[in-house]
Amino acid sequence: MEEIYSLNLGDYIEIENKLPNEEKKQAKIKIHKLKKDSISNLHLDCCFYCGNSFIETKKKENGCCNSHTVPKSFLDNISENGNVNFFNSIYQSEFNSKNNGLNNAGTFKLICRKCDREIFKSYENIDNYNSKPNVKMLAQIDMKNNLKNIDKCIKNLELYKVLEEGLSIFNEVSKRKEKFEIDLSEYKEAYDYAKKVSQKPFNDYNILYFKKLNYIVPVAYQGTVALINDLRGNIINNVYSNDKKYKIKNISLCVFPLENSSVIIIFTNKKNKRYSEFFNDFKKLDLEKQLSIVNYILFSYTEEYFLSPLISKNTLDQLKELVYKTSDFYRKTENPDDKKEVFKKIREIYNYDESLKFPNLLLEKFSIENLKKENI
Ligand SMILES: [Zn+2]
């Protein structure tokens, strides 16, 4: 066996499929219990934004809100009978749900209802997308992305705490926990910053890409992404660095299906220059290639997107290869000289040249309007 072996998320599905039914059943129960135990340990007392207590006050509006990442009003444009599909409709693990009602779609519970109504208002207003989003809107998106990341980190930390207590065989646990703790403090810092800009906007964001399409794309997403390599194969983020001072730099990616159109926004903090070369090259490409690369990034790097149930099974199956991509490696030894070998492999995994071979959901061909015609 090679010293370094690149993993594929499809490997896990294969292992899962080989499990005898009884074992599968037991594993499902165990996973469910782990999730339940870790979530029941979470007691957030007050709103992350305004600091008001959730419990003390009896006022309903100060209660904890089930906030949506992508605004519900945007998701309504791609839902069918109140449902949307998730990552797992492509990934196909029996241990996760494939679709769900909008109220359970990519939500987090960190802020009160009053804040949820107020602090994202500008970017949630469809009328504000006739031109490029302004600084206030970008700060609001950034703030929400970081809240979602914070929520994910807190949940993961709780899950690993339960794992640590229950299953000592996970020797990777403490290493991962440490990573989540560093991530959490970075997300909190980024959130504080975005909050400050949203309250008193000053031009601190750089829009790397903005495109308005005159049809509704069947996919929605908002979140942060840390790209590993650029279009020339140069490394943007060394996600394997063990140097604690080394910071991963993200971009924010938004794919918003609106009422009769869609917008794609990619932006970052002005101080983040790590992506300059990538976007210099990207802007020179024609629209179809640009959209195919956004589509490639969306499905190979992220998991928390929402899909219209109108997308055919055949199309979802063709996206599997993209969805299975991961930057994780199995390494036999921790040899520092592996670096070159790892980067060589990563260039093969995340190869933008192959982006055109996958179904591109951002093309008009897959618009909600066209999918509806096909379904008649
Ligand atoms: Zn609040």
Judged against a pLDDT cut of 70, whether residue 26 lies above it is answered with yes
**In contact, 264 and 209? CB cutoff 8 Å:** yes
What distance lies between CA 258 and its chain's CA centroid?
19
Which pLDDT band holds residue 97 (cuts at 50, 70, 90)? low
- Kindly list the distances between the CA atom of residue 187 and the CA atoms of 47, 129, 193, 249, in Å, as whole numbers in the listed order: 17, 27, 10, 11
Helix (H, G, I), strand (E, B) or coil at 252: strand
- Please, which pLDDT band fits residue 1 given cuts at 50, 70 and 90? very low
Strands 251-257 and 107-108: unpaired
The predicted-structure confidence for 109-141, as pLDDT tens digits, reads as follows: 899 999 999 999 999 999 999 999 999 999 999
Contact 12, 95 (CB under 8 A): no
For 56, residues 6+ apart whose C-beta sits below 8 A from its C-beta are none
Confidence of residue 318 (pLDDT cuts 50, 70, 90): very high
Write the DSSP assignment of 332-358 as a string of letters.
SS--TTHHHHHHHHHHHHS-GGGGGGS
74 alpha carbon – ligand 1 mean position (Å):
23
Residue extents of the structural domains in the chain: 1-6+204-376
Distance (Å, whole) CA 361 – CA 293: 11
The token pair that represents 156 in the structure block: 């993961």
Using DSSP's 3-state secondary structure scheme, residue 255 falls into strand
Ligand 1 centre to CA of 44 (Å) is 12
Is the pLDDT at 170 greater than 80, yes or no? Answer: no
For residue 193, give the nearest of 352, 300, 201, 218 by alpha carbon. 201
With cut-offs at 50, 70 and 90, classify the pLDDT of residue 29.
Answer: confident
376 alpha carbon – ligand 1 mean position (Å): 45
| Token pair in block for residue 209 | 């890409």
pLDDT at 93 over 80: no
- pLDDT, residue 305, reads 92
Q: How far is the CA of 110 from the centre of ligand 1 (A)?
A: 9
Angle between helices 21-40 and 135-166 (to 10 degrees): 120
Looking at per-residue confidence, does 190 or 169 come out higher? 190
d(CA 56, CA 244): 40
CA 156 – ligand 1 centroid, Å: 23
| CA dist., res. 278 & res. 350, Å (int) | 14
pLDDT recorded at residue 160 = 75
pLDDT value of position 181: 87
Mean pLDDT of the chain: 85
Extended beta strands in 47-130, E state: 67-68, 83-85, 99-101, 107-108
Look at residue 4 in the predicted model and tell me its pLDDT.
Answer: 59
pLDDT score recorded for residue 66 = 87
Highest mean pLDDT among 77-86, 171-180, 325-334: 77-86
62 vs 306, residue with greater confidence: 306
Position of tokens 């040899």? 335
pLDDT of residue 333: 59
Cα-to-chain-centroid distance, residue 44: 23
pLDDT value of residue 203: 79
**97 in helix, strand or coil?**
coil
Measure 116 CA to ligand 1 centroid, in angstroms.
7
Give the Å distance between the CA of 54 and the centre of ligand 1. 9
What's the average model confidence in pLDDT over 210-215?
97
Distance 120 CA to ligand 1 centre (A): 12
Task: Say which range, 51-55, 215-219, 244-248, 330-334, has the weakest mean pLDDT.
Answer: 330-334
- Indicate whether 68 pLDDT > 80: yes
**What is the CA(140)–ligand 1 centre distance, in A?**
15
Averaged pLDDT for residues 296-309: 93
Distance 195 CA to ligand 1 centre (A): 13
User: Residue 308, class by beta-carbon neighbours within 10 Å (0-12 exposed, 13-18 middle, 19+ buried)?
Assistant: buried
Dist CA 148 CA 223 (whole Å): 8
Q: Of 161-165, 315-319, 338-342, which gets the smallest average pLDDT?
A: 161-165
Residues 69-88 have a mean pLDDT of: 90
365 pLDDT more than 50: yes
Q: How big is the CA angle at 102 (ends 96 and 105), to the nearest 5 degrees?
A: 45
**Among 15-29, 157-171, 226-240, which range has the highest average pLDDT?**
226-240
Average pLDDT of the residues in 102-113? 79
Helix, strand, coil: what percent of the chain each, to 5? 45, 15, 40
Confidence bin at 56 (pLDDT 50/70/90):
low
